[in-house]
Amino acid sequence: MPNIENLRKQAKLFLRWHREGYFPVAAQISRFLARYQNLSDKEVLHAAFKLSDAQELIARKHGFETWPALMKGMETMTASAPSRARTPTIMAAEPQLFVSDMERACRFYVEKLGFKTGFFYGNPPFHAQVYRDGGRLNLRKVGGPVFDAAFRTKERDALSATLTLDDAKPLFLEFQQAKVPFHQTLKTEPWGARTFIVQDPDGNLICFAGDVS
């Protein structure tokens, strides 16, 4: 169970991340604070965000409506169960894909797959993030081919990432219209999911999986 001092430090850290324009924190702000939910990540990072907002965010992550309610709850829990440990919660996953040409990779994900660019880092850029709805992919530039022919011959269906959605068919039809290169077209798996797999310019295989409607 985190102590009150650690919670205060977390709030200050979120405030600093917001001021520094750290994109991954924007997703958590819009997830837990309703007034930011209709904003894009860039809009969240350009909006006003005070220490009290960061404290409210921490409170809501722990299931409390307000910071004072969290403080009171923490005092009560500490007094009644000082040795009780809180189970960590994984908030999201952001697969990292290796690419040999950052500009080409971003152009593919934005123009072909309908993603948006979250951020670039480096000059020239060697790290970037693209996102569409709740799916986020981190791109990391490497100095040579990502996969060699021998690997793909041996591991033909090795996935780099899986993105889940409610229904895969409409997105498959959208990508088909955009002439996206498919490694696997739409199919219903034995376990009931409907999936298709896209191959990016570097050979990364991205699986899109949804329920059968």
Give pLDDT tens digits for 164-205. 998 999 999 999 999 999 999 999 988 888 999 999 999 999
Q: Which residues contact 193 (CB under 8 A, 6 or more apart)?
A: 168, 209, 210, 211, 212
Beta bridge partners of 187: 195
Query: Cβ(56)–Cβ(14) under 8 Å?
Result: no
Whether residue 125 is preceded by a cis peptide bond, meaning omega within 30 degrees of 0, is no
Contact by Cβ (8 Å): 202, 147: yes
Task: Please list, in sequence order, all residues whose beta carbon lies within 8 angstroms of the beta carbon of residue 4, skipping any fewer than 6 positions away.
Answer: 71, 74, 75, 78
Strands lying side by side in the sheet with 194-199: 161-165, 205-210, 194-199, 182-188
Supply the pTM of this predicted model: 0.62
Write down the mean pLDDT value for the chain: 88
**C-alpha–C-alpha distance, residues 156 and 146, integer Å:** 14
Strand pairing class (96-99; 135-141)? parallel
CA angle 116, 24, 11 (to 5 degrees): 150
Domains of the chain, first to last: 4-80 (no CATH), 96-210 (3.10.180.10)
19-28, 70-79, 194-203, range with greatest mean pLDDT: 194-203
Residues in the chain, overall count: 213
Could you tell me if 1 and 44 are in contact, meaning their C-beta atoms sit under 8 angstroms apart?
Answer: no
Q: What percent of the chain has pLDDT over 90?
A: 49
